[in-house]
């Protein structure tokens, strides 16, 4: 096994162009491969019509044909549990398990080895579905996405399942958005365009950078304004968290995959909000050798007035990763 961290791209990153039909699924795979990434991550329900229904044999052939043509490997499929799919009915555990199994079949059919488990999945569901995942050689990873961090109570419950079962098929998938030291400029500016008070936004950004607890900032802002949009700016500090990257260390062997979140890649190959180098240095030092998959998500914050260029944002992110990994 490689000692190095490996690079992947989640095709989620190209969602703007895919949504507008400016890029096809094949275009997305080709763009990912051009960056030098060797792995592909997929939100099935975004990229494959009908998912999680099993794709046709013709599609499966085409899919593996693309993998060969562009010299990339399927790495991870991202699943969802639509507990409230039917109005007025909340799924039983059995219904949730059945939905989960279908995603496992889907992932297996397209050659994925990892499933990103959506964060609302309960530890009980994981336990029930684990034998099926093991049978299909699929590793499950609960997404550790802000506002959760790897030491949150919810993640401790999932850790108990890992410990109790001793399985090699369940671990964590941290999202780099959990290391947001500066609030994303693209997000703040969008909210100001939508009517947020620029002075309050500036205050919230300063408090966040100082490391002030988000709840305190939210309380302060509630005394400055009674407008919902200003409160939403304050709440950004709660939904974009920063924790010390060393928090990953005790769990390093349980990290099965990583989401390389980015909202704004600058021309100098840094991410505006996230101190990537500090996180990657920790990952390297403690021997993480799985994939980091680029997950560009800035489009939604700039698409109201700017042309989105996901391909360039992903390229910059991959250049950054390549340089940091191989230093």
Give the list of residues 6+ apart from residue 188 with CB closer than 8 angstroms, or none: 196, 201, 204, 205, 233, 236
Minimum CB–partner distance for residue 203 and another protein (Å): 25
Phi-psi region of 80 (alpha: psi -120 to 50; beta: other; left: phi over 0): beta
Closest approach of another protein to the CB of residue 79, in Å: 11
Does 122 contact another protein by CB under 8 A? no
Q: Is the Cβ of residue 207 or residue 241 nearer to another protein in the bound state?
A: 241
Question: Would you say 51 or 321 has its CB closer to another protein?
Answer: 51
Residues 301-320 touching another protein, rule: CB under 8 A, are 303-304
Query: Does the footprint of another protein cover residue 85 (CB under 8 A)?
Result: yes
**Out of 2, 21, 211, 228, the residue judged to bind another protein by CB under 8 A:** 21
**Euclidean distance between CA atoms 26 and 47, whole angstroms:** 10
* Residue 49 touches another protein, criterion: CB under 8 A: yes
Smallest gap from residue 47 Cβ to another protein (A): 8
* Residue 81 interacting with another protein (CB under 8 A): yes
Q: Report the alpha-carbon distance of residue 297 to residue 260 in Å, rounded.
A: 10
Residue 19 engages another protein in binding (rule: CB under 8 A) = yes
- The one segment of 3-11, 24-32, 45-53, 251-259 that binds another protein by CB under 8 A: 45-53
Applying CB under 8 A, among 80, 148, 179, 203 the residue interacting with another protein is 80
Closer Cβ to another protein, 61 or 82, answer by number: 82
**Of the listed pieces 25-33, 49-57, 174-182, 242-250, which binds another protein according to CB under 8 A?**
49-57
- Is 14 an interacting residue with respect to another protein (CB under 8 A)? no
Q: Which of these ranges, 60-68, 78-86, 200-208, 273-281, lies near another protein under the rule CB under 8 A?
A: 78-86
> Of 32-40, 81-89, 122-130, 243-251, which part binds another protein (CB under 8 A)?
81-89
Q: Which of residues 198-227 bind another protein (CB under 8 A)?
A: none
71 binds another protein (CB under 8 A): no
Instruction: Choose the stretch contacting another protein; rule: CB under 8 A; options: 64-72, 74-82, 177-185, 250-258.
Output: 74-82
Q: What residues make contact with another protein under the rule CB under 8 A?
A: 12, 15, 18-21, 43, 45-46, 49-51, 80-87, 118-120, 300, 303-304
């Amino acid at each position: 096994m490689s000692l190095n961290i490996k690079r992947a791209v989640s095709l989620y990153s190209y969602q703007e162009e895919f949504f507008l039909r400016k890029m096809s699924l094949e275009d997305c795979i080709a763009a990912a491969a051009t960056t030098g990434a060797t792995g592909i991550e997929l939100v099935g329900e975004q990229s494959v019509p009908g998912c999680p229904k099993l794709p046709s044999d013709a599609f499966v052939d085409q899919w593996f044909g693309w993998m060969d043509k562009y010299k990339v490997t399927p790495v991870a499929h991202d699943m969802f549990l639509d507990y409230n799919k039917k109005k007025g009915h909340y799924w039983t555990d059995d219904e949730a398990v059945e939905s989960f199994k279908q995603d496992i079949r889907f992932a297996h059919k397209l050659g994925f080895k990892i499933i990103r488990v959506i964060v609302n999945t309960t530890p009980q569901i994981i336990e029930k579905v684990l034998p099926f995942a093991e049978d299909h050689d699929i590793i499950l990873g609960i997404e550790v996405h802000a506002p959760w961090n790897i030491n949150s109570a919810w993640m401790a419950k999932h850790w108990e399942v890992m410990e109790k079962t001793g399985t090699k098929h369940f671990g964590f998938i941290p999202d780099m958005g959990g290391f947001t030291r500066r609030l994303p400029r693209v997000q703040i500016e969008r909210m100001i365009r939508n009517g947020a008070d620029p002075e309050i936004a500036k205050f919230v950004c300063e408090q966040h950078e100082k490391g002030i607890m988000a709840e305190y900032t939210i309380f302060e802002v509630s005394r400055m304004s009674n407008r919902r949009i200003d409160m939403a700016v304050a709440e950004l500090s709660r939904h974009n968290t920063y924790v010390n990257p060393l928090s990953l260390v005790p769990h390093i062997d349980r990290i099965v995959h990583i989401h390389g979140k980015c909202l704004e890649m600058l021309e100098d190959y840094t991410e505006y909000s996230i101190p990537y180098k500090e996180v990657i240095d920790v990952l390297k030092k403690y021997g993480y050798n799985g994939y980091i998959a680029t997950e560009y998500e800035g489009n939604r914050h700039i698409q109201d007035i700017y042309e989105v260029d996901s391909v360039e944002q992903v390229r910059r992110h991959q250049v950054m990763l390549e340089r940091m990994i191989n230093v």
